[in-house]
A and B are shown apart, each in its own frame.
Chain A
Amino acid sequence: MSDERTPAPDQDILAEIQAEVAHDLEEERPPAGGPAYQVVGALVALVVGIGGAVLSYGYGMGTLRQPGPGMWPFVVSIAIALMAVALLVVGRGLTDSEKFTRSSVLPAVGLVTFIVLALLMPVIGFEIPSLLLCVVWLRFLGGESWRSTIITSIVTVAAFYFLFLYGLRIPLPHLF
């Protein structure tokens, strides 16, 4: 996406450089998501705006002299909804989204390991879940060799064990 405007004479160089920078960054990025992504983004914002407005109306608007708890969130929600509508109208052609590809599975798996760690930590302490997280991230998400995975995982967890429990004296739930 480049700057198609005919550059005004006084801002030529800065505009040129900015277009060049934008172009440079563009090369590094995965393919854009297309209009559907833009519409979904705008619709989510619209729903939040409308929902926020309805809820905050219920909290009580008060008067201008004595604004109630709902007035400020109501004003903000309406602003969100209006801007979301504007985005629906003008934003369909934007190219700033990124397509979900096969590699989007990686962050999904990463997210699951976060949740598992959060669930297991209070039950069996942080050591084993942390070790599992390291193994999954290194071996399966990062493509490291088994040797490097095992060494890095054990060293990392051991380092955290001593850092938190002895260095910072923060009582993390721990098994050992």
Chain B
Amino acid sequence: MDVNAFLDGFSLVTEPQNLLYCLIGVLIGMLIGVLPGLGPAATIAILLPITYSIDPVSAIIMLAGIYYGAQYGGTITSVLLRLPGEASSVVTVFDGFALAKQGKAGTALGIAAIGSFVGATVSILGLTLVAPLIAGWALNFGDPEYAALALLGVLLVATIGNGNKLKAMIAAALGLLLATVGRDSFSGAERFTFGSLQLTEGIDFVVVAMGLFGVGEILYNLEERHGKPHVPAAIANIWPSRKDLKQSSGAIGRGSLIGFVLGVLPGGGAVMSSLAAYATEKRISKHPERFGRGAIEGVAAPETANNAAATSSFIPLLTLGIPANASMAMLFGALLILGISPGPQLVEERPDLFWGVINSMYIGNLILLILSIPLVGIFVRILRVRPAILAPITALITILGVYTINNSTFDIFVMIVFGLIGYLMKKVGFEPGPMVLAFVLGSIVEDGFRRSMLIFDGDPTGFFTRPISGTILAAFVLVALWPAAKAILARRKTATVTPAPAERDDVDTPTR
């Protein structure tokens, strides 16, 4: 590891401007984490136009802050309202809300904040040490490896989710197709442009993301919200006692490791790791019956793990250029806008950005710890702001924001179309996440595939005979066929039970 570059990164982060953007990022993250509705991916999408007007390093520091800040905020609503602000805090609801009912909401939030901080910090340390090594190793990757890796990334994100896997894979494939719109970079032929001049340059990633995630979620929330006012429980004594700390220390330690490892895997991320950490605690506990009735470990483990995972999911993005989840896909897009292609060369070519972003997380998490322990009362009060007041503000940010990218009303209409598509996809049970991710990776897969075919002289078996791309593709096949194989096995087992279990229940990952 280049120690000088690492230290330079710190001096960059402590510049007042970058500190300010880091603070703004984590504040926004925490805020949207607390407010049910917009998730981190949607928020980053809506704010992407900002990256055109501020310094690249500051922009990425801010957007990254939104992502990990949201993990802290999501806890608050889980504990106080039994409403997970983020998907990764769903499992915190069980014990967190039980503790709140016993009047120990403060303790639960305090432990969650401390666990989050420890998990994230352990994970950043891991990131600091591991990322340069992976980047160095990946420098040997050629086109076939990248094509295979990007394809595997798309597939993993599509299959390791909560929804139906077939639908997620269709959405991902649609994203790949969408990425081909415009002029073909090899032959100059126009594809799917239907004579439109504006489509010749391809569809702008920012516009697609703002439509599918931003507008799609805004419209969806408009329908789901039934004007329910949120009345959070009162909280007191946020500082956990020494006994609570002692009781949760094991859970925090294990949660950090589980989160770090699962976060690195594409598609693993915060949701999966919070479930796995909770399950581990319950499994090894001497009194598993306490879980769900207010066990402090049941809050500590998932909250630690989801923050550790949120942090370590930066590893594949910063070292391989493969986003591990929808929020990382947004950051990937932001980097592309700034003219930086994320990949193994990033640490050499842009050490300022690489170390600036990583080191900003040490500071961002410290800010979050302060925000979520002494200042938690302020965020609880934000829960009383009616969602109806925030909706038009987000709507305006989105429309005016997308216009400012190219000063183009055409972009607004493209965004509205994708917003409608995103909304309808949600209504019929398709997640837009895999589609956006595949859209981002589409050109990597296609270009890699076509250049590889040139290298292999038209022989597609070349992908399988190269050791690294062969291994990646073998993993691809395994992941692709796993749900089907499991469904068949399960069907055999329960042949007597009707109806046969739907395969969407398979939330197990092949990575376990």
B395 near A110 (CB under 8 angstroms)?
A: yes
Name the one of A80, A153, A160 contacting B170, with C-beta atoms under 8 angstroms: A80
Name the one of A24, A93, A138 contacting B90, with C-beta atoms under 8 angstroms: A24
Main SS class of interface, A: helix
- With A30-B224, A72-B180, A80-B174 known as contacts, the answer to whether A37 contacts B429 (CB < 8 A) is yes
Q: How many positions in chain B have a CB within 8 Å of any CB in the partner chain? A: 87
- With A5-B501, A48-B177, A69-B186 known as contacts, the answer to whether A114 contacts B419 (CB < 8 A) is yes
A4 near B453 (CB under 8 angstroms)?
A: no
B396 near A134 (CB under 8 angstroms)?
A: yes
- With A110-B219, A114-B215, A137-B392 known as contacts, the answer to whether A93 contacts B458 (CB < 8 A) is no
A50 at the interface (CB under 8 A from B): no
Nearest residue, chain B, Cβ from A113: B395
What are 13 pairs between A and B in contact, CB < 8 Å?
A: A1-B502, A3-B501, A5-B501, A37-B429, A38-B428, A63-B458, A65-B454, A87-B170, A97-B429, A111-B416, A138-B389, A142-B392, A148-B389
- With A83-B166, A111-B419 known as contacts, the answer to whether A5 contacts B403 (CB < 8 A) is no
B contact set with A: CB distance below 8 Å:
53, 83, 90-91, 93-94, 162-164, 166-167, 169-170, 173-174, 176-177, 180, 184, 186-187, 189, 191-192, 215, 218-220, 222-224, 226-227, 275-276, 278-279, 282-283, 288, 386-389, 391-393, 395-396, 399-400, 403-404, 407, 409, 412-413, 416, 419-420, 423, 426-430, 446, 449-450, 453-454, 457-460, 490, 493-494, 497, 499, 501-505, 507-508
User: A residues within 8 A CB of B387?
Assistant: 142
- With A72-B446, A72-B449, A137-B391 known as contacts, the answer to whether A107 contacts B223 (CB < 8 A) is yes
User: A residues within 8 A CB of B278?
Assistant: 17
User: A residues within 8 A CB of B508?
Assistant: 11, 14-15
Nearest residue, chain B, Cβ from A12: B283
B457 near A65 (CB under 8 angstroms)?
A: yes
User: A residues within 8 A CB of B218?
Assistant: 110
B404 near A45 (CB under 8 angstroms)?
A: no
Name the one of A5, A69, A80 contacting B187, with C-beta atoms under 8 angstroms: A69
A contact set with B: CB distance below 8 Å:
1, 3-6, 11, 13-15, 17-22, 24-25, 28, 30, 33, 37-38, 40-41, 45, 48, 52, 55-56, 59-60, 63-70, 72-73, 76-77, 79-80, 83-84, 86-87, 90-91, 93-94, 96-98, 100-101, 103-104, 106-107, 110-111, 113-115, 117-119, 121-122, 126, 130, 133-134, 137-138, 141-144, 148, 152-153, 156, 160, 164, 168, 170-172
Whole-angstrom distance from the CB of A60 to the nearest CB of chain B? 7
Whole-angstrom distance from the CB of A138 to the nearest CB of chain B? 6
* Most chain B CB inside 10 Å of its own CB: which residue of A1, A45, A96, A141: A96
Nearest residue, chain A, Cβ from B416: A114
B404 near A114 (CB under 8 angstroms)?
A: no
